[in-house]
Every structure is written in structure tokens, then in C-alpha cells.
Chains A and B, each alone.
Chain A
Amino acid sequence: MTTYILRRLLSSIPVLLGILFVTFALGRWIPGDPCRAILGEKATDAVCNDFIHRHGLDRPIPVQFGYYIREVAQGDFGRSFRFSKSVNELLVERLPITIELSFAALFVSIIVGIPLGVISAVRHNSWVDVLTMLWANIGVSMPVFWLGLMLAYIFALALKDTPFQLPPSGRLSPGVLTVPFYEVWNLPLQPGSFLYGVLDFIARMNILNSLLSLNFEVLRDAVRHLILPALALGTIPMALIARMARSSMLEVLGQDYIRTARAKGLRQRVVIMKHAFRNALLPLVTVIGLSLGGLLGGAVLTETVFNLSGVGRILYDAITARDYGIVQAFTVVIAIFFVILNLLVDISYAYLDPRIRLD
């Protein structure tokens, strides 16, 4: 297993370099003066000269690429003129929101998608199967942003004053305040220290923070705010997962060992759960891995629709403000994040299926 992980880690280095190369090329592609594209139109000549010298923009292209790799490796992604903050500060502030949203969406899609797919495989060609597949087909065809707007309309306006009413935007209701769990726990922390940074990052995820600080009022409010965005973002992966769960289960259910298990007189539930489902799980890991990219891309749209100030929303604001530096930096960060996620998916795949790591 260790050899497999090491090999897989090594093989992702060229991909990472490639990602840096592509984003570097995109950065050089920006029309006009790179300094003013990144620092804003108001940058003075003196500031620009300093900027150009510091980032090696007056050097040959390969050297510039070297500078760029060094900056990224040091975690220096520059500053945003629009937010007057460093990209790192923005990431620490906003990434937790996107992570929370993506996990909620993934959770929804797995919790609903897998059972739907398994049931439609077990009851092949029944009305459950037909409806699930119909839903799966429609689910992958709906634009995320439209679904989000429609959900907001239905649950915030059409179902207003019913128990199903849900908030259409934001993360918490006005007046609901969240206290970081480390303050509730009275942890002696130095602001600015690494530990503080990590705990602060975790505390920015409202649901996790309210669970850790046992504040159930905030938890309820945060969950209510997250339901609609998670549903909107989770629908496409949910449909993909249901489809894959169904076809994978159908294939497994046709195998000889399933017939043997049935012939042994095992109960249906045991056959399905212990014999079939475990073997059908593997392709699902791949689909879930593939969905992650869609989730990260979809987060830009979902956060824009639901006014969540995550990484996606910032990207949208940066696009409208022509803040090229931010777009470039966030693209790199999200791509690297995506590569790491894929790495984890591959490793879990190898863990689940020994044939892969021994290949």
C-alpha cells in the first residue's frame, strides 16, 4: 500500500507542474499590462515597477515561470486589489464555506443517490426503477443555477408560512450569532499562531462549529440555510451516483455468487447488503471522485445564487471586477485541491480493491 501511495504521489507531480504551467500561461495571456491587470488600474508607475521587478516580470519567460513556481510553493498567491487582502487571508476566510457546502451536497447526493440506485436495481423495471431513472436523467440535465433559483422560489416564497419554509440566501438568520468553539472551550490561544489558524478555519464552518460548541440553535439555523444550496449543488452528483449504483448493482446481482448466496437460503437483505452491495461499491467511488470537480465548479454558481460568501462567490466577484490575480490564484488553488482529492479517491480505490495496488 505504501509503495502504491508513493508511486501515486510521484505521478501527480508532473500534473501539478502542468497545472502551474497552464495557469502561468493564462496569466501571461492577460491583455495589456500585467501589473495593472493584477494590481488594478490605479496602480502608480513606481508601484508597478516594484511589482514587475519583484515578480521577475522583466526577466525571460522561463525565469518568470521559475519565480511563479517559487511563489506558489511558498504559498504566496499575491493580493487582491478588490478586497485589499492577501489571497491567503481570503482563502482562510472563504474556503470553509465552500468546503461545508460541497460536503453537504456530497452528503445529500450519497444519502439519496445510493439507496435509490440500489432499490431500482433490486426492483428492476418496477415503477421505482422507472421513476428513479427518469429523475436521474432530468437531474443531470438541469442547470445548477436554475435549480437553485427555483428551489429558492418554491421554499422561500411558495411555501412561505408553512413548516417547509426555508431561507433563500445567506448562512445564518440575522441576529443569530456564532461563537468560535475555541472561545466556548476557553482554549488559551495566541492569535496568529498556526494552531489558532487551523482552529479558526474549522470554526468558520458553522455546522461543525455549532456541533463542537453544542449550540443547537445555531446548528438548526445553519442547517436550514444549507439545505437548499446543498440540494441544488447535489442534484447532478445524486443523479450520477444513482445511475452508477443501479448499473453496478445490476451487474453484480447477475453474478453466480449471488445465485449461490440465494441458493444457500440467505435472506434477501443479507444477499443485497453483504454480498451484492459491497461488491457494487467500487465503481461508485470513481463516480463520487469524478463528481468532486463538478461540485467545485458548481459551487461558483450555487454560491452566486444563494449569496454565500465562499470561494465560488469570490471568484464571481473577481470576474466582474476584472481582478485577474484572484481568478488566477483561485484557479490554481482549486485545481491543486482537486488533484489532492483525486489522489485520495485513488488511494481509497486501491484500499478497497487490492488488485489495483498490486498491479
Chain B
Amino acid sequence: MTQATQSVTVLDPEGISLKSVSLWNITLRRLRRRKSAIIGLTILSILTFIALTAQWLAPYDPYTPLIGIEEVKAREAPCIHLLGCPETKPQHILGIDGNVRDQFSRLLYGARLSLMIGFSTVTFAIVIGTVLGALGGYLGGWVDNVIMRFMDVLLAFPSLLLAIAIVTVLGPGLINALLAIGIVSIPAYARVVRASVLSVREMDYVSASRALGGSMTQILFRRILPNALTPLIVQGTLGIATAILDAAALSFLGLGAQPPTPEWGSMLGAERNQVFTAPHLVFFPGIAIALTVLAFNLLGDGLRDALDPRLAHVS
């Protein structure tokens, strides 16, 4: 039986064996008891909701300048009616950006992009990393050597710098930035998967599967890889946080999302010279990035503790 589908028999207070609880149930139960994970999960739920409903939540179109539509100037400070802004002025709770667009609407649409960036880069890196790590760990020998030495080389670069170098060559743009961040994060996943594969490769149940005539893919995907799921989930959640930060950094440098895309990093980059005159245009996108990254970090830490077998007590 593999670890990910492992069941544990629970004793009720009277000591009578009752029912079996899956690892996921235990994890959920442990996760619920960690305040930080709950905070992370809550922020993420709100962000997901915003991302899914941005077109209804946003009061304005994120792309259309309000020139000729409303009496507003570029980089106007936030105007909130409840806080004493005159009713005669249109309400823009986070102010107006340099191209006379509603900053709040752009920020809401940015949530969509940030989550998409986080999930797509990490999925890409996990898929490639898993294949490479599994092949290396399972086959061993020179295949393993070649793959892992290459991973070492990728790890030898400071990750943001390698991403910068890759995007510079591929050309600036969101897709290329995602590809670059995906590539630089592959080694982390390859290592995790390889370690898991190595730890169970010689287990009896794997040998049994082999003796029964299981093919390599069958053994790898059905018997071995489920063991790597736990560390992959933790690594992946924390990896999303890093990916969002790196993508924001690339966009800030002008290498990622290009204007007028409402991406938080590029919104910040576009207005960075206005920090003294229009601080709201720098402050809010940064807060949005930090909150999203914080949420994934909190959830990742919580998951790591909840999935840690060393803390395996059910109560």
C-alpha cells in the first residue's frame, strides 16, 4: 500500500476500533487546527473568488482610460465617499493610475493573472520535474547522473538571474517569463521526486509489483509516485509563492507582462518613479502581491506540518 492512500485505524475514547481514516482526512483535521494555515486558506479563497468574479466586481474596465468619460486626472488620489470625499466626484477607492484608469479594477483583474501565473508555472515545473526526477531515481546509473548534474547546474545560478537571462534571450512577455520561471523551478521538484523514488524503489511492494509483471510506467505511476505526492504538494504550494514573487519581479523590470496588462508587478514598475507623488499607485499593487504570496506561504507551512509523518498522531 502506498503512503498517500494509507489508512489509519482510529481508536475512539473507549478504546474500541471504529473506522479507518484516510491520510487526507487526517491532514485536513490537522490543517484545521493550525491558525496560520486557516488564515492562508481564507486569503486564498477570497483571492480565488475575486479572480473568478473580477468582471462583475470591478466597477470599471481595467483597460479603458477614463479620459472623456469621467472628470478625473491621471494619478488622482483615492476618493472614497464614506471617508469624506465629495459626492460630486466619482468614487475610485484606490485612485487613478498614470493612464487614467481605475486602479481598483485593475488590481482585481490582477488577482486572476497572479493566480494563473502561480499555478501554471508550478504545474509546468512539477510535470517536467516529476518526469526527470522519477526517471533519474528509478533508472539510476548514467541517466540519473546526467539529469541530476544538469539540475545541479540550474541550481548553481541565482534563480532570478537565470530567469532574467532566459527572458532576455526569449524576448520580454508574460508567456516567456512564465516559461523562464518554470524552467528555473524544475530542479526543486526533480530532487523531491527523485528522493521519494529512491526511498521506496527497493520496497517489498514494489518488488512484488515487478514480480507480478508490472510495466515500468505502471510501477512508477501507480506504486512509486504516489509517495512523492506529499512533499510535492508542500513544495508546490511554497513554489507558487516564489513563482508569483519572481514573476512580479520580472514584470517590474519590464520583462514580464507588458502594458496595458493589469499585472501587479508591471503596474508597480510603471509607476515606481511616482512613489513620492502618487504613493497609492505603488502601495496597493505591492500589498496585493505580498498578501497573495503570504497566503501561499502560510498554507504551504501549514501543509508541511500537517503532512509531516513525524507528527503522526490522529487525535
Contact = CB atoms under 8 A, between A and B. Distances in A.
Chain A partners chain B: yes
Interface of A: 14-15, 18-19, 21-23, 26-27, 29-31, 137-138, 140-147, 149-150, 152-153, 156-157, 292-294, 296-298, 300-301, 304-305, 315-316, 319-320, 322, 324, 327-328, 331, 334-335, 338-339, 342
Interface stretch (B46-54, B74-82, B281-289): B281-289
B257 to A, nearest CB: 14
A300 B161 contact: yes
B276 A141 contact: no
B31 to A, nearest CB: 16
A147 B152 CA distance: 31
A143 B276 contact: no
Interface string B141-166: 00000000110111011111110111
Given A141-B293, A146-B290, A156-B276, A300 B164 contact: yes
B198 interface: no
A21 B255 CA distance: 23
A137 B161 contact: no
A137 B294 contact: yes
B286 A142 contact: yes
A324 B298 contact: no
Interface of B: prevailing SS = helix
A316 B165 contact: no
A132 to B, nearest CB: 13
Interface in B113-168: 149-150, 152-154, 156-162, 164-166, 168
B169 A146 contact: no
B168 A324 contact: yes
Interface string B181-199: 0000000000000000000
A324 to B, nearest CB: 7
Given A22-B153, A22-B162, 19 more contacts: A18-B149, A18-B152, A21-B153, A27-B169, A29-B169, A141-B293, A142-B289, A143-B252, A143-B268, A145-B272, A149-B272, A153-B282, A293-B157, A296-B161, A300-B253, A331-B165, A334-B158, A335-B161, A338-B156
B297 interface: yes
A5 B170 CA distance: 38
A147 B36 CA distance: 23
Nearest to A315: B164
Interface stretch (B9-17, B213-221, B241-249): B241-249
Contacts of B269: 145
B67 interface: no
B253 A338 contact: no
Nearest to B272: A149
Nearest to B166: A26
Given A18-B153, A146-B286, A150-B283, A297 B166 contact: no
Contacts of B283: 150
A335 B248 CA distance: 22
B98 interface: no
B158 A296 contact: yes
Contacts of B268: 143, 145-146, 149
Contacts of A138: 290, 294
Contacts of A137: 36, 294, 297-298, 301
A13 B255 CA distance: 32
